[in-house]
């Protein structure tokens, strides 16, 4: 086993970091094998291969085949061949014969079958690579289910080797693949431990973790001496990709503190190569021991974020302030090294974690300018940026023509409602901008509807009459209600605009749907002449035509009418001669007639679905304007 | 024998039959009737016990000079009934509009007889269950695990009739006169019985003990006919217009301050009444001396042997003899009827006249016993109005709501609104709510946020002393943070020796709102409900612990907080910052634009326009919004053509000028906070 791996490792590392740019010689991909016999005879000892068997003609497994084909290339990197074996028709052997065997892929090492995979576990390249490697690296990657298992593992490893613990939300994911690929490379150096248990994630991370994202911990068990203490851990702060894991493991492998005795400008460590800053602790001979402890402490805190080096000032001649105790070298080319005087280790850590802080310290002089800018921002806070509030307050000096609108109070509310057949009431608050904007539209509505008999427009200012508004259950401003002989009949729920509101008030005058008694009425209705209340309303008319037998559709239509009341002009006709009417428009009841633009064109639709929901949906759809 | 008798009566009690009610209320004064009203409305089994034959027996006697000092404002220029209650200090809360005090009296300071008549009407019109001529003389506990609070309250009246209740509401008021005992206190007349006929004082010299409203009211009555009046008490005079506390000396009673300061013979003195002694000479005149001198006297020698202060200090202030000494020292709670098992303890320090209660008005000693009305004033003594009708009518309602939740599973009433109504609902309440205004810093409106701050629940007038117990006390959940809305005076503005008329005392600019001195709304934001511990550790004189954010709405001369730029805009910004959302209103056209350019729309568009309820607006409004640079003008060419050509230039200029202000209009519109 390990002999095989030794052969793999160098090639894989080579492939991982150069492969993408170097065109591979020879074609890598799916190998075609004519027959099972040929395949089995060709298997090399110790070499893994993933095979699947298919009758020569196969249609069902097509998407799976595509995925397998594209994963062949990736698996080739790990020395695993992917083979499609064509089963001859008459073959009834183990792999070709059974129907369910054809839905599986088989992993062999040499001629030994290691694992069989159902094809639905291999849904894409990630899952194929992850699952195949997971099966091959059975010993290198331990799967744990409980915290106790994890702790056992940790205790066994203490003083021997380090542990890489990964949580993935599910197997077969891209993160799982990344962990497996890393394990393939580092499996001999570190012990890999994998779990999909969310409980383990919660037990190992500090704050509330997100169970849907993967998480990787490097546990420093090799140096752990105290059997009672858990190993120190360093989490990977980035998403789990192969590159990030590799980088993390590389950083963990680097020495904790590098001792340097040369000009910091010339020093280069793995951290700088990986794009991380390097912190120098400037040490003196006298304080060497303390400086060393400080450096180690800081290094643990910054592990994975920056490198730490201990620079002995006595050995290097530095042209910087004697007080300076920290130097920071960033990976950016051409950036000079910063020498700083910091008070404690926290400052070193924040220095690295929050680079902006450094900038602030350096840009002390520029701060005043910044403050001025802040003040400007604050001034902006005082400027009204609500378009409705601003528009209404700019308009407040214009007197609104509200003579048409009856003012209701706690005293006259109930008596006034009884005086008219229908009263429209606008509940509003006189200090509230949206209310006042709507009041403007409402006064236009009043002008439009001037002379319409049977409808009275009125308003209640809830700022004056809070008791009345709460008694009428008005909790939001503005609210428009229509009262029919003192009883609340409808609450407006449409656009707050003059046109929409006028139309709603007009339509609310007649019942919805309106029952038509004669064919003449029905014809007049389609022309837009009947009923007279709606003659000024120029919108599409809807007429439901029912023979008396079709009760279910009629009930649904009536129910739909209730829902659409105030928004749609709906009529219904179900007298004995309904058939004659429907024949004229060449439909058979139950049917719907749509008269657009004043009855000049009438369109017939047969009502096939008697459900209320469908009918409402259909009517709404039919009424949409042509776009 | 006394012990035996006592034990005997106890036996009788335990063997007797009890009339049971869920709720017993002691006292049919304003607070008792107010509690009865809420219990009746909720359909609860209750009874009110009243020792007199009619409600409000305290007001039948007091104030002796019959003038109430609670205002009864007829006109406010507003019809808002809730707002008008801010200036009606006598009415109780009810649904019956006939029961407003202004229908009973036209006087700004009404007569106490009117109050008695009002209370009679309140009890009879609302058909409240009051049992008159029943004086509760003893209250004790009976342990019972079945009972609501682990025990029943057993009440005994003057006829040895017994009553049993699950919950006891004590609204007995404060009617036991405070007395001081010193040598010669037998010569002192009490406020309760002193003559109110000024002629009885003609040509007399009077000393008044005490410095409250009753003392000054007594002095005011006789000011014109006496030789002079002196007033003595331990503490300095506290003027209510300086302390903003209605229980301190009111301007209507303070005529004596004038005559003192104008050197018209009347005067005020400070001294401890405990050190005082009064001796009567042969002519019946009363001399002030000190207890200290009396202790060394020779009893047999009579009056002449007693040292008077002026013998040693010949300019001693009260060396002139008095004809009368009147005690006006206020009242205290009657602790005598409560059995020791109820642990009704007096408070400490300056609230020792009140029973000890929690901020929820429940007794500290006995669960299920609530103190209502003026006796519950220890919660906000010398701060707010909890000791007066216009304050305790709201705290009584709060107690009723707590009880409804605790015993009947009726959660605290609340309304759920979409977040677009957040600014509106706060503005509405701070402008009209009376409970918040009278019981400032004691009762608070609470806004409980729903998940993701898309909606909120509004609870009115919750006692903030028990904010930490909110979930348990109201049956509502506060998982997603909350706003607390209270009213406050400026921290260092009110006080007995503060100058409340100094220059620049009022703050006008919104950015200095936190320095406001007069009563103004303050909004506290908490991400989590404050804990019991945080409540305990809050700074002294702070009504609430440190919030995550706080906002003061700048004080207003008219107490009208509806100005769009000075009041509403800063409030909206505060709420937006707390919730990281955009609470602006938009015309449908802007929402339409957002729908195409933004992934997430402001709530106003989301809850309006996207549900086909957008705000269309009118031509004039669009025009204004475009002029302000807040709306992109896609239709500009359309309506500029309609205008006559000569006005065109002017408006163009206007447009230029408006665009010159340093708002980056498009940025404002487009930068809806959708991150």
**Tens-place pLDDT, residues B312-339:** 788 888 888 999 999 999 999 999 999 9
pLDDT of residue A358: 46
Domains of chain A and CATH, by start: 31-134 (3.40.30.10), 139-252 (3.40.30.10), 254-352 (3.40.30.10), 400-506 (3.40.30.10), 511-623 (3.40.30.10)
Tokens representing residue B51 in the block: 């020792």
Task: For residue B256, count other CB atoms closer than 10 A to its CB.
Answer: 24
Measured CA to CA, the distance from residue B140 to residue A89 in angstroms comes to 99
* Distance in angstroms (rounded) separating the CA atoms of residues B478 and B144: 34
- Whether B297 shows a pLDDT value over 60: the answer reads yes
Chain B nearest CA to A440, separation (Å): 7
Q: What φ, ψ does residue A499 adopt, rounded to 5°?
A: -60, -50
d(CA A544, CA A559): 12
Q: Looking at residue B653, what is its pLDDT? A: 42
A82 within 8 A of A49, measured Cβ to Cβ: yes
Q: What is the Cβ-side half-sphere exposure of residue B563, based on CA atoms within 13 angstroms? A: 16
Query: Distance (Å) from the C-alpha of residue B325 to the closest C-alpha of chain A?
Result: 52
Which pLDDT score, from 0 to 100, does residue A100 have?
Answer: 63
**How close, in Å, is residue A386 to chain B by CA atoms?**
5
Cβ contact A467–B81 (<8 Å): yes
Question: Do residues B422 and B566 share a domain?
Answer: yes
Cβ partners under 8 Å of residue B164, min gap 6: B18, B19, B20, B21, B142, B152, B153, B154, B155
- Chain A, chain B: beta-carbon pairs less than 8 Å apart: 148
Q: What pLDDT does residue A614 have?
A: 82
What pLDDT does B159 receive?
A: 93
Q: In angstroms, what separates the C-alpha of A387 from chain B's closest C-alpha?
A: 5
- Looking at A254-366, list the stretches that DSSP marks H as alpha helix, in order from N- to C-terminal side: 270-273, 288-302, 345-353, 355-362
Given a cut of 80, whether residue B29 has pLDDT beyond it is yes
Domain of residue B371: give its range: 19-175+332-402
Q: Which of B427, B436, B621 to mutate to test the interface with A (most CBs of A within 10 A)?
A: B621
Among A94-108, B42-56, B187-201, which is the least confidently predicted range?
Answer: A94-108
Paired tokens of B369: 């016993």
Q: Report chain A (627 residues): mean pLDDT per 10 consecutive residues.
A: 45 41 46 73 78 65 72 83 77 67 77 80 83 84 86 83 87 87 86 85 75 83 77 83 86 84 80 84 83 86 84 77 80 78 79 58 45 50 87 88 90 89 92 93 89 86 92 90 85 89 86 80 78 72 76 80 82 78 78 74 76 82 72
Contact A494 B613 (CB under 8 A): yes
Under 8 Å between Cβ of B443 and B461: yes
- Residue B639 belongs to a domain: no
- What DSSP designation does B338 have? B
- Judged by a CB distance cut-off of 8 A, whether residue B614 touches chain A is yes
User: Is residue B217 in a domain?
Assistant: yes
pLDDT for the residue numbered A537? 67
Report the SS3 class of residue A384. Answer: coil
Stated as kind and residue range, the H or E segment containing B83 is: helix B81-84
B525 — phi, psi (to 5°)?
A: -115, 125
B211 vs B254: CA distance, rounded Å: 10
Q: Return phi, psi of residue A282, to 5°.
A: -85, 120
CB contact under 8 A, B617 and A388: yes
Torsion, Cα of B45, B50, B53, B58 (10° steps): -140
* Minimum-distance CB partner of A466 among B82, B562, B628: B82
Residue in chain B lying closest to A496 (CA): B615
Q: Are residues B363 and B442 in the same domain?
A: no
Q: Is residue A274 exposed (0-12), middle (13-18) or buried (19+ Cβ within 10 Å)?
A: middle
B268 belongs to a structural domain: yes
Mean pLDDT for B83-104 is 94
- Kindly identify which residue of chain B lies nearest to residue A470, measuring between CA atoms: B415
Residues B453 and B510 in one domain: yes
C-alpha distance from residue B403 to each of B25, B31, B355, B396, B418 (Å):
13, 16, 20, 11, 29
For B617, name the nearest residue in chain A, comparing CA atoms only. Answer: A437
Distance CA B92, CA B284 (A): 48
- For chain B, the first-to-last Cα distance in angstroms comes to 84
Q: State which residue of chain A sits closest to B95, comparing Cα positions.
A: A467
Please state whether beta strands A81-87 and A48-55 pair in parallel, antiparallel, or not at all (unpaired): parallel
Distance from CA of B467 to the nearest CA of A (A): 25
Q: Which of A384, A398, A476 sits opposite B565 (nearest CB)?
A: A384
Domain count, chain B: 4
Q: Is residue B643 pLDDT above 90, yes or no?
A: no
pLDDT band for B302, please (50, 70, 90 cuts).
low
Report the greatest alpha carbon distance in chain A.
114
The H or E element containing residue A185 is helix A174-186
Residue B393, chain A, CB below 8 Å: the answer is no
Residue B316 in tokens: 């001693």
Of B356, B379, B402, the residue at which a domain comes to its end is B402
Query: Is residue B473 one of the residues assigned to a domain?
Result: yes
CB contact under 8 A, A390 and B630: yes
The dihedral over CA atoms of A123, A127, A133, A137, expressed in degrees to the nearest 10, equals -110
- The pLDDT value given to residue A356: 43
- Count Cα neighbours of A344 within 13 Å in the Cβ-side half-sphere: 1
CATH number at residue B29: 3.50.50.60
CA distance B409 to chain A (A): 23
Helices B569-579, A367-382: inter-axial angle, 10-degree rounding: 120
CB contact under 8 A, B624 and A395: yes
Among A383, A395, A467, the residue with its CB nearest the CB of B663 is: A383
* CA dist., res. B107 & res. B57, Å (int): 21
Q: Are B663 and B585 in contact (CB under 8 A)?
A: no
Is the model more confident about B455 or about A156?
A: B455
In this prediction, residues B418-447 reach a mean pLDDT of 95
Region of A486 please: left (phi>0), alpha (psi -120 to 50) or beta.
left
Which of B81, B421, B614 minimises the CB distance to A495? B614
**Residue B163 · residue B48 · CB < 8 Å:** no
Q: Which of B10-14, B564-568, B610-614 has the lowest mean pLDDT?
A: B10-14
Tell me the nearest-neighbour CA distance from B278 into chain A, angstroms.
59
The reply to whether residue A382 touches residue B590, judged by beta carbons under 8 angstroms, is no
Residue ending a domain, choose from B329, B363, B388: B329
Q: Which residue of B has its CA nearest to A466?
A: B80
| CA-based nearest residue to A169, from A137, A140, A141, A194 | A194
Q: Using CA coordinates, name the residue in chain B closest to A394.
A: B624
What percent of the residues of chain B are helix, what percent strand, and what percent coil, each to the nearest 5?
A: 35, 20, 45
A541 by DSSP, 3-state: which? Answer: strand
Report which of A141, A150, A305, A346 is spatially closest to residue A231, judged by C-alpha positions: A150
Least confident of B43-47, B161-165, B315-319, B357-361: B315-319
Instruction: Flag if B586 and A387 touch (Cβ within 8 Å).
Output: yes
Same domain, B459 and B551: yes
* Gap from B82 CA to chain A (nearest CA, Å): 7
Residue A600 pLDDT? 67
- Quote the CA–CA distance of A164 and A245 in Å, as a whole number: 10
ipTM of the complex: 0.84
CA atoms within a 13 Å half-sphere pointing along the CA-CB vector of B399 = 35
Q: Do B631 and A387 touch (CB under 8 A)?
A: yes
Chain B (41-80) residues lying within 8 Å, Cβ to Cβ, of chain A:
78-80
Residues B615, A475: C-beta atoms closer than 8 Å: no
CB-based contact (8 Å) between B655 and chain A? no
Contact (Cβ atoms closer than 8 angstroms) between residue A626 and residue A570: no
Q: Which of B78, B613, B628 is nearest residue A394 as measured by Cβ atoms?
A: B628
Distance from CA of B257 to the nearest CA of A (A): 41
| B130 occurs within a structural domain | yes
Q: Name the token pair of B159.
A: 């006829």
B76 vs B79: CA distance, rounded Å: 8
Confidence of residue B288 (pLDDT cuts 50, 70, 90): confident
**H/E run at residue B486:** strand B482-488
Answer whether A390 sits within 8 Å of B417, measured CB to CB.
no
Closest residue in chain A to residue B666, using alpha carbons only? A385
Same domain, B53 and B169: yes
Contact yes or no for B613 and A496 at CB 8 A: yes
Please tell me which of the candidates A380, A395, A463 has its beta carbon nearest to residue B621: A395
> Residue A51 has what pLDDT?
82
Its pTM stands at: 0.68
**Residue B376 and residue B452 in one domain:** no
The structure tokens listed for A114 are 């290691």
> Which chain A residues contact residue B427 at CB under 8 A?
431-432
Return the pLDDT at A268: 80
Indicate whether B118 and B171 sit together in one domain: yes
Closest CA to B157 of B15, B48, B59, B62: B48
B592 touches chain A (CB under 8 A): no
Distance separating alpha carbons of residues A545 and A557, to the nearest angstrom: 10
Averaged pLDDT, B600-628: 88
Question: In DSSP terms, which residues pair with B343 in a beta bridge?
Answer: none
Residue B408 lies in a domain: no
Q: What is the pLDDT of residue B646?
A: 43
**pLDDT band at residue B303 under the 50/70/90 scheme:** low
With an 8 Å Cβ cutoff, are B663 and A385 in contact? yes
Residue B339 belongs to some domain of the structure: yes
Nearest to B170 by CA among B394, B360, B374: B374
Distance between CA atoms of residues B161 and B12, nearest Å: 11
Joined tokens for residue B406: 């605790």
Which of A388, A430, A501 has the highest number of chain B CBs within 10 A, making it the mutation to test binding with B? A388
Are residues B128 and B256 located together in one domain of the fold?
no
Same domain for B338 and B322: no
Considering only CB atoms, which chain B residues are within 8 Å of A477? 424
Same domain, B453 and B535: yes
Please state, in angstroms and rounded to a whole number, the distance separating the CA atoms of residues B395 and B372.
8
- Whether A115 and A135 have beta carbons less than 8 Å apart is answered as yes
Answer whether residue B645 is part of any domain. no
For residue B187, what are the CA distances in angstroms to B201, B268, B277, B328?
A: 16, 21, 10, 14
**CB within 8 Å: A466 and B80:** yes
User: Which of B418, B584, B628 is opposite residue A391, by nearest beta carbon?
Assistant: B628
The residue of A391, A407, A448, A479 whose CB has the most chain B CBs within 10 angstroms, and thus the best one to mutate to test that interface, is A391
In whole angstroms, what is the distance from residue B101 CA to residue A579 CA?
71
Residue-level pLDDT at A513: 81
Same domain, B190 and B167: no
N residues, chain A: 627
| B 566-585 near A (Cβ less than 8 A) | 568-570, 572-573, 584-585
Q: Do A495 and B79 touch (CB under 8 A)?
A: no
Both B352 and B467 in a single domain?
A: no
Q: Looking at residues B422-437, what average pLDDT do you find?
A: 95
- Token look-up 């309602």 returns B397
Q: Which residue of A has its CA nearest to B572?
A: A386
Angle between helices B422-432 and B569-579 (to 10 degrees): 130
Compute and round to an integer the Cα radius of gyration of chain B: 31
Give the gap in angstroms from C-alpha B607 to the nearest C-alpha of chain A.
12
> Is residue B667 within 8 angstroms of chain A, CB to CB?
no
């Amino acid at each position: 086993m390990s002999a095989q791996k030794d052969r793999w490792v160098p090639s894989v590392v080579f492939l991982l970091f150069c492969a993408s740019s170097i065109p591979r010689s020879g074609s890598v991909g799916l190998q075609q094998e004519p027959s099972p016999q040929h395949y089995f005879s060709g298997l090399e000892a110790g070499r893994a291969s993933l095979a699947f068997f298919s009758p020569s003609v196969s249609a069902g497994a097509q998407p799976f085949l595509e995925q397998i084909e594209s994963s062949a290339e990736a698996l080739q990197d790990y020395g695993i061949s992917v083979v499609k074996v064509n089963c001859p028709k008459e073959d009834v052997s183990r792999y070709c014969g059974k129907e369910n065997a054809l839905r599986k892929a088989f992993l062999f090492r040499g001629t030994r079958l290691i694992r069989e995979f159902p094809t639905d576990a291999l849904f894409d390249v990630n899952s194929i690579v992850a699952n195949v490697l997971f099966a091959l690296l059975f010993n290198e990657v331990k799967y744990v289910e409980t915290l106790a298992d994890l702790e056992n593992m940790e205790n066994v490893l203490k003083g021997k080797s380090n542990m890489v613990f990964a949580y993935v939300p599910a197997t077969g994911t891209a993160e799982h693949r990344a962990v497996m690929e890393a394990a393939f490379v580092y499996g001999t150096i570190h012990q890999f431990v994998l779990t999909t248990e969310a409980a383990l994630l919660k037990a190992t991370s500090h704050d509330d973790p997100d169970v849907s994202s993967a998480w990787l911990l490097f546990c420093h068990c090799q140096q752990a001496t105290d059997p009672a203490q858990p190993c120190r851990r360093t989490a990977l702060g980035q998403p789990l990709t192969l590159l990030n894991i590799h980088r993390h493991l590389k950083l963990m492998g680097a020495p904790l503190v590098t001792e340097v005795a040369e000009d910091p400008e010339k020093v280069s460590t793995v951290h700088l190569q990986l794009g991380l800053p390097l912190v120098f602790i400037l040490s003196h001979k006298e304080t060497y021991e303390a400086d060393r402890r400080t450096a180690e402490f800081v290094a643990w805190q910054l592990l994975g974020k920056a490198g730490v080096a201990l620079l002995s000032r006595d050995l290097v001649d530095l042209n910087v302030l004697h007080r300076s105790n920290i130097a920071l070298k960033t990976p950016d080319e051409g950036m000079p090294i910063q020498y700083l005087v910091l008070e404690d280790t926290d400052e070193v850590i924040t220095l690295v974690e929050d680079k902006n802080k450094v900038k602030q310290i350096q840009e002390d002089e520029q701060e005043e300018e910044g403050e001025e800018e802040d003040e400007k921002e604050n001034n902006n806070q005082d400027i009204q940026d609500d378009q409705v509030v601003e528009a209404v307050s700019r308009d407040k000096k214009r007197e609104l023509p509200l003579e048409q609108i009856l003012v209701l109070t706690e005293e006259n509310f109930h008596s006034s409602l009884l005086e008219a057949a229908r009263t429209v009431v606008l509940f509003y608050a006189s200090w509230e901008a949206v209310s006042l904007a709507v009041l403007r539209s409402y006064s236009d509505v009043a002008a439009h509807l001037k002379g319409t008999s049977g409808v009275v427009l009125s308003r209640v200012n809830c700022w004056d009459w809070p008791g009345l508004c709460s008694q009428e259950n008005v909790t939001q401003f503005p609210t428009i209600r229509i009262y029919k002989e003192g009883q609340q009949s409808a609450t407006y729920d449409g656009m707050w605009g003059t046109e929409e509101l006028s139309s709603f008030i007009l339509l609310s005058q007649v019942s919805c749907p309106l029952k038509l008694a004669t064919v003449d009425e029905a014809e007049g209705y389609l022309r837009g002449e009947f009923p007279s209340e709606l003659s000024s309303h120029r919108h599409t008319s809807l007429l439901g035509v029912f023979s008396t037998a079709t009760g279910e559709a009629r009930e649904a239509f009536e129910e739909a009418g209730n829902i659409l009341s105030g928004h749609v002009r709906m009529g219904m006709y179900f007298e004995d001669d309904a058939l004659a009417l429907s024949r004229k428009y060449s439909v058979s009841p139950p049917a719907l007639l749509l008269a657009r633009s004043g009855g000049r064109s009438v369109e017939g639709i047969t009502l096939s679905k008697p459900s209320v929901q469908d009918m409402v949906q259909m009517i709404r759809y039919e009424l949409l304007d042509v776009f | 024998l006394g012990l035996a008798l006592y034990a005997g009566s106890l036996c009788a009690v335990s063997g007797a039959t009890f009339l049971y009610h869920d709720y017993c209320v002691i006292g049919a004064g304003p607070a008792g009737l107010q509690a009865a009203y809420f219990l009746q409305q909720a359909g609860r089994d209750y009874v009110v016990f009243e020792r007199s034959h009619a409600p409000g027996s305290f007001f039948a006697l007091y104030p002796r000079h019959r003038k109430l000092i609670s205002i009864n404002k007829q006109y406010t220029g507003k019809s808002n009934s809730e707002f008008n209650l801010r200036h009606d200090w006598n009415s109780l809360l009810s649904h019956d509009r006939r029961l407003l005090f202004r229908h009973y009296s036209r006087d700004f300071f009404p007569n106490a007889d009117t109050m008695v008549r009002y209370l009679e009407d309140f009890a009879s019109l609302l058909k409240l269950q009051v049992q008159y001529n029943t004086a509760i003389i003893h209250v004790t506990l009976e342990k019972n695990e079945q009972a609501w609070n682990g025990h029943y309250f057993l009440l005994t009246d003057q006829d040895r009739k017994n009553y049993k209740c699950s919950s006891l509401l004590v609204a007995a008021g404060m009617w036991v006169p405070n007395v001081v005992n010193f040598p010669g206190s037998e010569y002192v007349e009490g406020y309760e019985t002193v003559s109110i006929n000024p002629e009885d004082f003609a040509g007399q010299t009077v000393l008044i003990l005490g410095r409250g409203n009753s003392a000054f009211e007594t002095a005011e009555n006789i000011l014109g006919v006496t030789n002079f009046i002196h007033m003595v008490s331990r503490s300095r005079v506290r003027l209510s217009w300086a302390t903003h506390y209605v229980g301190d000396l009111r301007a209507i009673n303070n005529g004596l301050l004038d005559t003192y300061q104008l050197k018209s013979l009347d005067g005020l003195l400070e001294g401890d009444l405990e050190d005082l002694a009064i001796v009567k000479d042969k002519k019946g005149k009363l001399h002030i001396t000190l207890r200290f001198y009396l202790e060394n006297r020779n009893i047999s020698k009579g009056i002449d042997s007693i040292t008077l202060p002026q013998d040693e200090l010949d300019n001693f202030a009260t060396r002139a003899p008095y004809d009368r000494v009147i005690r006006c020292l206020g009242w205290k709670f009657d602790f005598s009827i409560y059995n020791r098992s109820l642990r009704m303890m007096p408070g400490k320090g300056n609230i020792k006249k009140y029973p000890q209660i929690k901020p929820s008005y429940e007794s500290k000693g006995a669960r299920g016993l609530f103190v209502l009305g003026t006796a519950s004033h220890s919660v906000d003594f010398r701060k707010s109005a909890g000791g007066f009708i216009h304050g305790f009518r709201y705290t009584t309602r709060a107690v009723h709501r707590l009880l409804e939740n605790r015993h009947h599973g009726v959660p605290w009433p609340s309304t759920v609104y979409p977040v677009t109504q957040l600014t509106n609902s706060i503005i509405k309440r701070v402008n009209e709510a009376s409970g918040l205004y009278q019981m400032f810093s004691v009762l608070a409106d609470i806004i409980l946020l729903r998940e993701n701050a898309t909606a909120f629940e509004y609870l009115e007038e919750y006692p903030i002393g028990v904010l930490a117990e909110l979930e348990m006390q109201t049956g509502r959940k506060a998982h997603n943070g909350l706003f607390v809305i209270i009213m406050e005076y400026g921290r260092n503005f009110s006080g007995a020796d503060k100058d409340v008329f100094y220059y620049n005392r009022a703050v006008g600019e919104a950015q200095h709102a936190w320095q406001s001195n007069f009563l103004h709304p303050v909004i506290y934001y908490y991400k989590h409900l404050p804990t019991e511990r945080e409540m305990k550790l809050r700074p002294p004189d702070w009504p609430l612990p440190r919030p995550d954010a706080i906002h003061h709405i700048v004080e207003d001369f008219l107490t009208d907080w509806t100005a769009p730029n000075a009041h509403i805009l800063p409030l909206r910004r505060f709420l937006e910052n707390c919730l990281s959302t955009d609470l602006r209103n938009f015309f449908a056209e802007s929402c339409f634009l957002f729908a195409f350019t933004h992934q997430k729309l402001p709530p106003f568009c989301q809850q309006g326009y996207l549900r086909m309820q957008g705000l269309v607006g009118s031509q004039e409004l669009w025009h204004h919004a475009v002029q302000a640079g807040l709306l992109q003008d896609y239709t500009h060419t359309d309506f500029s053509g309609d205008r006559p050509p000569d006005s065109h230039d002017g408006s163009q200029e206007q447009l230029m000028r408006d665009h010159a202000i340093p708002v980056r209009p498009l940025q404002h519109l487009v930068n809806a906070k959708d991150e």
